[in-house]
Chain A
Amino acid sequence: MSDLKSQATSPDLVNINPEPDSARQRFWRSVEEREGTAAFLEAVAPEFPQGEVPKTALNRRDLLKLMGASAGLAGITACTKLPAQKIVPYVRQPEEFVPGIPLFFATAMPFNGVGRGLLVESHLGRPTKAEGNPGHPGSLGATDVFGQASVLTLYSPDRAQIPTHLGKVATWEEFIEDLGDHLVDERSSGGKGLRILTGTITSPTLADQIQGLLTDFPQAHWHQYEPCGRDAAREGARLAFGQYVTAVYRLDKADVVVSLDSDFMFGEPGSIRYARDFADCRRLTYPGATSNRLYAAESTPTITGSLADHRLQVRSSAVEALARALAAAVGVAGSGSAEPPAGVSADWLAGVVNDLKAHRGTGLVVTGDHQPPAVHALVHAINQALGNAGQTVVYTAPVEANAIDEMKSLKDLVAAMDAGQVRTLILMGVNPVYSAPADVPFLAAMQKVDFRVHLGLFVDETAAQCHWQVPEAHYLEAWGDVRAYDGTASVIQPLIAPIYNGKSALEMVAVLRGQTYASGHDLVRDYWQRQASGGHLNAGANFEDFWETSLNNGTIEGTTFPVKQVSASVGAIPAAPRPLASDAVELVLRPSTSLWDGSFAHNAWLLELPQPFTKLTWDNALLVSPGTAARLGFKREDMVKVQVDGREITAPVFILPGQTPNSITLHLGYGRTVAGGAGTGVGVNAYLIRTSATPWILTGVQFSKTGTTHHLVTTQNNHLIEQNGQLHEEESDAAFDRRVVRVGTLDDYRRNPAFAQDPPEVNTEAPSLYPNYYDYTKQQYSWGMSIDLNTCIGCNACIIACYAENNIAVVGKDEVDNGRDMQWIRVDTYFRGDLENPEAYNEVLLCQQCENAPCEYVCPVGATVHSPEGLNLMVYNRCVGTRYCSNNCPYKVRRFNFKLYSDFQTPSLFPLRNPDVTVRSRGVMEKCSYCLQRIMEAKIVAERESRSVRDGEVQTACQQTCPTRAIIFGNMNDPSSAVKKLKQQPRDYGLLRDLNTRPHTTYLARLKNPNPEIKG
């Protein structure tokens, strides 16, 4: 398996579509042959949507059954005779298929319109796992939670499975017919009444198709609206440069990074790459290595801020003032007052400014997409003034195929619909009924359109209001293309035939253009062939080869945008707004760290994913700082009414240390009303108070307690407790007492490299009746892992990767509340210092694979034992479920199937499962295995080739997906292995070594690189 991975990274790839399209075409058909489309259609009615566990409420009938069952229980169930099975071969086996060996296909995932390069694992034609594409500039082999979770979306039982007309089941043909009728009169009027609404589109082919459509229908209009789009960034660029450009950061060149309320490592088009580049500049894994320095001024704790060497709490609404002050200080003309906003100490500002000035050309100032255009413009100006432009940040043509002010575009559409000018509305992959700002009455206006068509993966709020709902093809099902953050285009190639015969946006537009039976593949291929023949690409003589290479590499060569020379000025920016009263409370809306803008609301993995810092699952909440909560009299779980000019919602309060005082954050993407079994009714819909004028930062908000409460569930119960007048967080205090997290400054480290080491008495051998019996260093392999706290940003990607790789079950809110979440890997968060403005530390925790594993010797049946290679094995089929191992595990990384959590009911989810990992059933303990299945596969391949496993040949799922490469796994008995080198670092320490557990997972202590100029 893993040698295929390594091949997949090399262009001369045998297993990625070596033969002509016809072969691949056949390969899908064989998929259908094998899976049988019928089998998938059986999944139409999901019995238990993922995330819902079978009910435990009992009626009389059940009870009688149960009593009977229990009476006859003893022994009977013990007989486990294998059922008679059928085995079904192909009729014609595709050449590249070797049953039992997965294939990897390079493709790309559009996220917020922008492409994320992926390498997707396919078992017998079933995509089961998405990995980053090492050859893709936006990925470098890593992914984020959304990329990892997208496979579950593909198989989600909630997906729209058949076209519906007015809610009644219909056929694609009927749709075409009906559409045709409407298009006839549109054609006569030049498409005057025809409007198309999409999200942000970077796909060259799709844009080209739409342009084509617009020429067919000159009067028609194409609108774009992305709920969590980058309007501000675009507008900011226009203000600064007079034109739309996209800023691309070069964090690998930046020594000083100043983030003005930016979470650039999450959610932005280049986030994954940025995280990697940023981390590379602070690895400190060799002597004399230097670290970059990050100043983060932010209103709510973000994963970016968690790595900051100086974190400044500032309200989002005050960031503009800060930016102006900074601009003034670095000598940007016309930036307004140089006065930093209240709460920003002068020496902080001075320190930052001096640092930036000291690093001309190697510094970088960034700001977040939720900051107003003015701030973006200022930042551009600052970077230019500091000579960073062209060095650490470059500007390219906008990656959007048609960069516009999307909010305005949406409002135009609504106005037109309201005026009754729209007769035919085609919505593709958008859900504006849910996600339009509250002051844009989309639904009301849309009602006036005679013919409304919605193309979507799910029957959502919008689909429910449309005449036609047409199933959309998932990106793993259809051909397409998409541009990455730097313009690099990738071909989206499908790994499976559309399970529900869904159509891609590309095909939909084709239909609108009358090309009813045009295949997505041909459209994309034709477009790029035209580009090639048009000389826009150096495709060489043979386009076929170029096409194959592009498919194999996952990127189309020569499509990366060239750097643009632009010069910034702040002349055009509006005057500074009146600063918000110091005691007034602002409300900041942010995209959810799990559900983004709500489009992932069906995804049970993401719903159950503990959100960074809050560890909140299955809910969003008003994040309030302890002080502000006290002042407003809010307690955790209080339901609070939030009122903004006439509109109101009620949301629960969550008290979050590190949240900026008088700034409350609420995540978008929750409170869906039509989101299938898992997502419907989870959390609060913040779009209901969002306004088009200030979509992100709301001032003049009224908060009032309703008296009711709403139970919030977290996976790590951080208890805030009052102790002698000061607020403490008991668990964090204990954590630092026990040196669970070890932190030092770069200077400490230089002075005393071993500052993180345990005292000698911990490592010395205690006398024992059992002198060390097994010596793992003598073996060929001794598997170990090193986790670098200095680069881990706690982005959660590893957790979702683990879900996908290890068939981990979702248990639902109630069970998580019972402390029964099944995640094998978790991100622990501890706070240090004053809880009003603490330092937050993330620590990834998974099975530590102790050599003297406490879990093993207490198991009565030997269901957990040790392998000679130092792995702590868990044998599910031997486990009888005494839970003793978990009790005795000091790290509590074991997870128990208290009930039947794995979903054996929903057929559509079966093909998602990783066939190399047992699906655990009721009453069985489970835990991280270092992705044993990958190790074994690699070892078998190595044995066959009579060699030993190479370093890096086996990657654990968490390691492979980690954007910052904070997790390194390998053979500790190989002196040249990366993990061995890391473990030799003086920063290396193990958790609870004093218990003599001898963990094989160790950590590299966190190092801060503070600016001496700044006190405190």
Chain B
Amino acid sequence: MAENDDNLTSTAVVETEEVLAPGHTYRSVSDRISDMVLTWPVGYKWAAGLALAVAMLIVLHLALAVVFTIGVGVWGINIPVGWGFAITNFVWWIGIGHAGTLISAFLLLMRQKWRTSINRFAEAMTIFAVACAGLFPLAHMGRPWLFYWLLPYPDTMGVWPQFRSPLVWDVFAVSTYLTVSLVFWYTGLIPDLATLRDRAKKRATKIIYGIVSLGWRGSAEHWKRYEMCSLLLAGLSTPLVVSVHTVVSFDFTIAILPGWHSTIFPPYFVAGAIYSGFAMVLTLAIPLRRYYHLEDFVTMKHLDFMGKVMLATGLVVAYSYVMEAFMAFYSGSPYDRYMMMNRMTGPYAKVFWTLIFCNLVGPQALWFSKIRRHPWVLFAVSLVVQTGMWLERLVIIITSLHRDFLPSNWGMFYPTRWDYMTFIGTLGLFFTLFYLFIRFLPMIAIHELRDLVHKTEHEKAAAH
């Protein structure tokens, strides 16, 4: 099929200002999306991409192998800097996840139409990001084979997890988040899986999609409960997504370290999460719409809106930075004051100022709708923001730890090649999963698109 042959030199696309290009019918949208899954053989570009991702995945395997067999000592961490890249990556990945849930849940509650064609792969992104994030708390443990000691279960020792520890909260928050996201994602998939079942040619394909679609037949009664279910899930996910990064921020705020022990962290982290999350959505959406010619569905309006969201959250983050610095000096605590000075002028000043540029200066470009509507510039900005957000977490962790209360404790953190390999490796995991997803599941919610077609026709009718 021409549509999903990854052909860069195809006819120039017509950009639209609607959330859905005109002229689409129930059938056209259904077929257009489901064909991307049902058409074989796969495009060689997809195969190449997957191969690359898998190569990075092997790097992850190698890195973890070394970490597990020799110990976390292969990383650059030490006393005083007990946490390094691992926790940075953890927070970063979790943060990225948030955009997906927010798009699918929050925008659903807000009845935003532009959510429709991006929520599916955004949710997928969430799940894969959380999966990557989940690796790190495990890998960074000194004795990972005892991870199950963090779970409450009646053991032969009669002891329990220590529920006052944010790390245990993390266990609950992250696993809940993963489960709920999966639930939400799957719920959304059921009718589309039915579509795939009905459109599939091969018997095997029919059976597979038939099983996972639970025999969905779109009866009115089912639709009613289904809608209710989605609404409830949306209502639950919205507070959940806020709570998750709040809990993640507790990992730092609960501690007494200057630069960690701060009440501003929860909102600041949530905002940052959405910020980086939307950046990631754009990073995925822009190439997708280009190579799969989804301009009709992921339109300029989408890019524009997402740009705006980034700008807004970016400003919240900026405010937090200013506040953080202000409080450090206003508090009168010599430790906080030194910490802030050290961040700005100390050994890690370069990193700090890079992050300030990436998160504060760079995104100001989004004030201009020209930029928001220029896919590749937007793509660049989103990359910058993600880099910045990763550095932000690194700076928070390293600069607070490496010079804390007693000067005799002061030290430095230098990452090793295993630090980098672990990080790159999780990118591999993420993209491997994502490549498989776009190949085997509809990357846009078909039934919602049909609903969208319906609604837009109504509006036209009303307009006339």
Interface residues of A (CB under 8 A from B): 56, 58, 63, 65-67, 69-71, 73-78, 716-717, 730-732, 734-735, 737-738, 740, 815, 818-820, 826, 828-830, 843, 845, 854, 857-862, 878-884, 886-888, 890-892, 894-900, 922-925, 991-992, 995
Contact B408 A819 (CB under 8 A): no
Contact A854 B408 (CB under 8 A): no
Contact A819 B79 (CB under 8 A): yes
- Measured CA separation A829–B74 after assembly (Å): 30
Contact A898 B71 (CB under 8 A): yes
Q: Specify which chain A residues have a CB less than 8 angstroms from the CB of B406 in the assembled complex.
A: 735, 738, 740, 828, 845, 890-892, 991-992
Interface presence of B461 (CB below 8 A): no
Interface residues of B in 116-155 (CB under 8 A from A): 140-150
Instruction: With both chains docked as a complex, state the minimum distance between the C-beta of A490 and any C-beta of chain B, in angstroms.
Output: 39
Interface presence of B26 (CB below 8 A): no
Contact A880 B141 (CB under 8 A): yes
Contact B408 A898 (CB under 8 A): no
Instruction: With both chains docked as a complex, state the minimum distance between the C-beta of B414 and any C-beta of chain A, in angstroms.
Output: 8
Interface presence of B401 (CB below 8 A): yes
The residue on A at minimum CB distance from B159 is A862
Interface presence of B7 (CB below 8 A): no
Interface presence of B164 (CB below 8 A): yes
- Measured CA separation A820–B413 after assembly (Å): 12
Interface presence of B11 (CB below 8 A): no
Interface residues of B in 51-66 (CB under 8 A from A): 61-62, 64-66
Instruction: With both chains docked as a complex, state the minimum distance between the C-beta of B30 and any C-beta of chain A, in angstroms.
Output: 42
Interface presence of B165 (CB below 8 A): yes
Interface presence of B409 (CB below 8 A): yes
- Residue among B80, B160, B334 making CB contact with A892, cutoff 8 Å: B80
- Measured CA separation A886–B80 after assembly (Å): 7
Which residue among B61, B143, B148 has the maximum number of chain A CB atoms within 10 Å of its CB? Answer: B143
In the A-B complex, list the 4 residue pairs whose CB atoms are closest, starting with the nearest. Answer: A881-B142, A923-B142, A898-B73, A819-B78
Interface presence of B411 (CB below 8 A): yes
Given A58-B66, A67-B62, A717-B411; A858-B166 close (CB under 8 Å): yes
- Residue among B145, B149, B405, B410 making CB contact with A75, cutoff 8 Å: B145
- Measured CA separation A826–B411 after assembly (Å): 15
Contact A887 B69 (CB under 8 A): no
Interface presence of B176 (CB below 8 A): no
Contact A892 B61 (CB under 8 A): no
Contact B71 A886 (CB under 8 A): no
Contact A74 B145 (CB under 8 A): yes
Extra contacts besides A738-B407, A898-B73, A923-B71 (7): CB < 8 Å: A65-B69, A717-B412, A858-B255, A860-B161, A880-B141, A884-B255, A894-B79
The residue on B at minimum CB distance from A54 is B70
Q: Specify which chain B residues have a CB less than 8 angstroms from the CB of A922 in the assembled complex.
A: 71, 142-143
- Measured CA separation A991–B408 after assembly (Å): 13
Interface presence of B254 (CB below 8 A): yes
Contact A860 B150 (CB under 8 A): yes
Q: Specify which chain B residues have a CB less than 8 angstroms from the CB of A878 in the assembled complex.
A: 149, 159
The residue on B at minimum CB distance from A925 is B142
Contact A819 B80 (CB under 8 A): yes
Contact A899 B70 (CB under 8 A): yes
Contact A828 B408 (CB under 8 A): yes
Contact A731 B78 (CB under 8 A): no
Instruction: With both chains docked as a complex, state the minimum distance between the C-beta of A925 and any C-beta of chain B, in angstroms.
Output: 7
Contact A888 B162 (CB under 8 A): no
- Residue among A73, A818, A896 making CB contact with B68, cutoff 8 Å: A73
Contact A858 B142 (CB under 8 A): no
The residue on A at minimum CB distance from B408 is A828
The residue on B at minimum CB distance from A829 is B408
Instruction: With both chains docked as a complex, state the minimum distance between the C-beta of A674 and any C-beta of chain B, in angstroms.
Output: 31
Contact B409 A892 (CB under 8 A): yes
Given A882-B142, A923-B71; A738-B167 close (CB under 8 Å): no
Interface presence of B392 (CB below 8 A): no
18 contacts between A and B (CB under 8 A): A69-B69, A71-B65, A76-B145, A731-B410, A818-B78, A819-B78, A859-B162, A861-B149, A861-B159, A880-B146, A881-B72, A882-B140, A882-B167, A883-B77, A887-B80, A890-B405, A892-B406, A898-B78
Q: Specify which chain B residues have a CB less than 8 angstroms from the CB of A899 in the assembled complex.
A: 70-71, 73-74
- Residue among A716, A888, A925 making CB contact with B408, cutoff 8 Å: A716
- Measured CA separation A566–B405 after assembly (Å): 57
Contact A892 B404 (CB under 8 A): yes
- Measured CA separation A415–B171 after assembly (Å): 77
Given A63-B65, A861-B162; A895-B79 close (CB under 8 Å): yes
Contact A740 B149 (CB under 8 A): no
- Measured CA separation A77–B141 after assembly (Å): 14
Number of interface residues of B (CB under 8 A): 58
- Measured CA separation A716–B74 after assembly (Å): 22
Instruction: With both chains docked as a complex, state the minimum distance between the C-beta of A344 and any C-beta of chain B, in angstroms.
Output: 33
Contact B78 A858 (CB under 8 A): no
Instruction: With both chains docked as a complex, state the minimum distance between the C-beta of B448 and any C-beta of chain A, in angstroms.
Output: 38
Interface presence of B107 (CB below 8 A): no
- Measured CA separation A737–B146 after assembly (Å): 43
Interface residues of B in 198-235 (CB under 8 A from A): none
Instruction: With both chains docked as a complex, state the minimum distance between the C-beta of B22 and any C-beta of chain A, in angstroms.
Output: 53
- Measured CA separation A350–B20 after assembly (Å): 97
- Residue among B79, B147, B165 making CB contact with A859, cutoff 8 Å: B165
Interface presence of B184 (CB below 8 A): no
Instruction: With both chains docked as a complex, state the minimum distance between the C-beta of B122 and any C-beta of chain A, in angstroms.
Output: 30
- Measured CA separation A47–B259 after assembly (Å): 45
Instruction: With both chains docked as a complex, state the minimum distance between the C-beta of A63 and any C-beta of chain B, in angstroms.
Output: 7
- Residue among A881, A886, A925, A995 making CB contact with B405, cutoff 8 Å: A995
Q: Specify which chain A residues have a CB less than 8 angstroms from the CB of B412 in the assembled complex.
A: 717, 819
Contact A732 B407 (CB under 8 A): yes
Instruction: With both chains docked as a complex, state the minimum distance between the C-beta of B428 and any C-beta of chain A, in angstroms.
Output: 15
Q: Specify which chain B residues have a CB less than 8 angstroms from the CB of A58 in the assembled complex.
A: 66
Contact A73 B145 (CB under 8 A): yes
- Measured CA separation A76–B68 after assembly (Å): 13
Q: Specify which chain B residues have a CB less than 8 angstroms from the CB of A860 in the assembled complex.
A: 149-150, 161-162, 165, 167-168, 171
- Measured CA separation A76–B143 after assembly (Å): 13
Interface presence of B348 (CB below 8 A): no
Given A820-B73, A862-B162; A886-B150 close (CB under 8 Å): no
Q: Specify which chain B residues have a CB less than 8 angstroms from the CB of A895 in the assembled complex.
A: 79
Q: Specify which chain B residues have a CB less than 8 angstroms from the CB of A992 in the assembled complex.
A: 405-406
- Measured CA separation A995–B333 after assembly (Å): 11
- Measured CA separation A983–B385 after assembly (Å): 54
Interface presence of B361 (CB below 8 A): no
Contact A820 B68 (CB under 8 A): no
The residue on A at minimum CB distance from B67 is A70
Contact B161 A861 (CB under 8 A): yes
Given A888-B255, A898-B77; A858-B407 close (CB under 8 Å): no
Given A740-B406, A820-B78, A892-B406; A924-B143 close (CB under 8 Å): yes
- Measured CA separation A878–B158 after assembly (Å): 12
Contact B410 A880 (CB under 8 A): no
Interface presence of B338 (CB below 8 A): yes
- Measured CA separation A900–B73 after assembly (Å): 9
- Residue among B65, B68, B82, B411 making CB contact with A887, cutoff 8 Å: B82
Instruction: With both chains docked as a complex, state the minimum distance between the C-beta of B394 and any C-beta of chain A, in angstroms.
Output: 15
- Measured CA separation A896–B78 after assembly (Å): 8
Interface presence of B242 (CB below 8 A): no
Contact A923 B408 (CB under 8 A): no
Contact B257 A887 (CB under 8 A): yes
- Measured CA separation A610–B368 after assembly (Å): 59
Q: Specify which chain A residues have a CB less than 8 angstroms from the CB of B47 in the assembled complex.
A: none
Q: Specify which chain B residues have a CB less than 8 angstroms from the CB of A886 in the assembled complex.
A: 79-80, 82
Contact A887 B255 (CB under 8 A): yes
The residue on A at minimum CB distance from B171 is A860
Instruction: With both chains docked as a complex, state the minimum distance between the C-beta of A616 and any C-beta of chain B, in angstroms.
Output: 15
- Measured CA separation A72–B62 after assembly (Å): 13
Contact B83 A883 (CB under 8 A): yes
Contact B256 A854 (CB under 8 A): yes
Q: Specify which chain A residues have a CB less than 8 angstroms from the CB of B167 in the assembled complex.
A: 858, 860, 882, 884
- Measured CA separation A991–B144 after assembly (Å): 34
- Measured CA separation A53–B254 after assembly (Å): 35
Q: Specify which chain B residues have a CB less than 8 angstroms from the CB of A69 in the assembled complex.
A: 65, 68-69
